[in-house]
A = this chain, B = another copy of it.
Amino acid sequence: MSHLRSIADLDRDRALGLLSLADSMAEINARPIPKVPALRGRTVVSLFFEDSTRTRLSFETAAKRLSADTMNFSVSTSSVNKGESLRDTIETITAMGVDAFVVRHKSTGVPWQISRWTDASIVNAGDGWHQHPTQALLDAFTIRRRLSVTGDFAGLHVAIVGDIKHSRVARSDVQLLTLLGAKVTLVAPASLLPPSLEGWGVEVSNSLDAVIDRIDVLYLLRMQMERQEQSLVPSLGEYSVRFGLTESRARRLQSHALVMHPGPMNRGVEIVVDPAELPGSAILDQVTNGVSVRMAVLFDLLGSGTGLHETSGGAL
């Protein structure tokens, strides 16, 4: 693997391999000094065309814990349409000796474009409504650890609730969770579903109440405030009544069921209860696990193909 642009870059074995590697990284993160020299001398550049402090900090933390050097290349939105100059920018930074670009962009496909102009590795940190593969990996990793899953996810039932249509998180999670054998049900009003779900391999419901008591994971998507103005939902209050996690719905969850959210949450919209009071909340675990999963991805891409415990220099 030289890039992680999409969950489609992975097969089942690669995905499970990354989750195992992330287990080793989580062990490192539990040490008194959570830092190893594995990627010393490697350079990771963040190339964020959209602001996302939390995702950028998570990748930066992951890179620093592996002793990589990190640099930020902030790109004003105005450069977006200058294809030529983006290419020159990528070629220039590559020529300085960069090993990986972590790319976020509002348009689908930009990480693929960029990977044609560089021999550095590309990690897609979100492209439009399309893909956010490290989010899917950290979600799968969180489910695996919290529900003590061994091997694949057969028998698990995950409901993903909310604005599926505009969500790269939903697309990536569906792809990875079904690859690993989970059953996925999308729960959304018709206006927030994509025009076609052919090939998704999921079930669909327009009622959260119809599924809430039989799922193992309740995955709430962030509701963008502008969907109300676009009349895709009648109102945020109405959305909350039909699709939000209220106290009465929380009581109907199975006792082992997890509640997950990619953040940042809109409290009072998709989540009405305080997640800190839900024993099943895995929302902060997702953040913590994000660092371990991104360490695994960066090590897999840049660690010269050596196994984590086999590097001659004792990298870890």
Which A residues are closer than 8 A to B by beta carbons? 29, 31-35, 40-41, 43, 45, 53-54, 57-58, 60-61, 64-65, 69, 71, 73-74, 84-85, 88-89, 91-93, 95-97, 263-265, 267, 284-285, 287-288, 290-291, 304
Whether the pair B290, A54 counts as a contact (CB closer than 8 A) is no
* Contacts known (A34-B97, A41-B34, A64-B69); A267 close to B84, Cβ less than 8 A: yes
Copies per assembly: 3
In the A-B complex, the 3 residue pairs with the smallest Cβ-Cβ separation, listed nearest first, are A33-B41, A95-B287, A35-B41
A93, B287: Cα distance in complex, Å: 8
* Contacts known (A34-B41, A35-B41); A61 close to B96, Cβ less than 8 A: yes
* Contacts known (A85-B264, A267-B84, A287-B96); A33 close to B43, Cβ less than 8 A: no
Whether the pair B290, A96 counts as a contact (CB closer than 8 A) is yes
Residues from chain B with Cβ under 8 Å of A92 in the complex: 54, 263-264, 284, 287
List 17 A–B pairs whose Cβ atoms lie within 8 Å, in order of A's numbering.
A31-B41, A33-B40, A33-B41, A35-B41, A35-B69, A57-B73, A60-B71, A61-B69, A61-B71, A61-B96, A88-B263, A89-B264, A95-B284, A95-B285, A95-B288, A96-B287, A97-B288
